[in-house]
């Protein structure tokens, strides 16, 4: 599982970790029993504060999504997170906002982005 942090999104890092773990489980990329990186390793990999990862893992544990076994690590629990339509729409809105902001930084306008997306859709069909 690959977790990435976007420091420009405005979304707190711990929330980004939570969302990415939940979506990975919901998609089936992570299965019950799969081991997650240690808190320390993930903090090093993402170059963020250890307490940020602790907070994300703790919230996921409270929700029953993750299980921590002392001395063994953190694992995906049996409870599968439900991603409702509202949460999916919110995530899509966040992705689109980030996409448009990044495109704007490079001088692209909305029409150019839409044209690029349309061309991609044609290629994938």
pLDDT value at residue 39: 95
13, 46 Cβ separation under 8 angstroms = yes
Asked if 41 contacts 1 with a C-beta cutoff of 8 angstroms, the reply is no
Classify domain 13-76 by CATH architecture.
Answer: Orthogonal Bundle (1.10)
| Nearest of 108, 81, 93, 71 to residue 18 by alpha carbon | 81
The pLDDT, as a whole number, for residue 1 is 65
**What is the mean predicted confidence (pLDDT) over 110-121?**
93
The arithmetic mean of pLDDT across residues 76-103, rounded, is 86
Condensed to tens digits (0 to 9), the pLDDT of residues 34-85 reads: 999 999 999 999 999 999 999 999 999 999 999 999 889 999 999 888 788 8
**Which residue in the block uniquely carries the two structure tokens 């909305």?**
110
Residue 14 contacts residue 52 (beta carbons within 8 Å)? yes
């Amino acid at each position: 599982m690959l977790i990435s942090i976007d420091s420009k999104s405005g979304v707190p890092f711990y929330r980004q970790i939570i969302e990415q773990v939940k979506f990975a489980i919901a998609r089936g990329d992570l299965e019950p029993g799969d081991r997650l990186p240690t808190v320390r390793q993930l903090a090093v990999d993402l170059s963020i504060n250890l307490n940020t990862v602790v907070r994300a893992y703790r919230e996921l544990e409270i929700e029953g999504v993750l299980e921590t076994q002392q001395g063994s690590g953190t694992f995906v629990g049996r409870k599968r997170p439900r991603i409702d339509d509202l949460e999916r729409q919110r995530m899509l809105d966040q992705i689109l906002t980030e996409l448009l902001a990044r495109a704007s930084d490079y001088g692209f306008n909305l029409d150019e982005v839409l044209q690029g997306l349309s061309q991609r859709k044609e290629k994938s069909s």
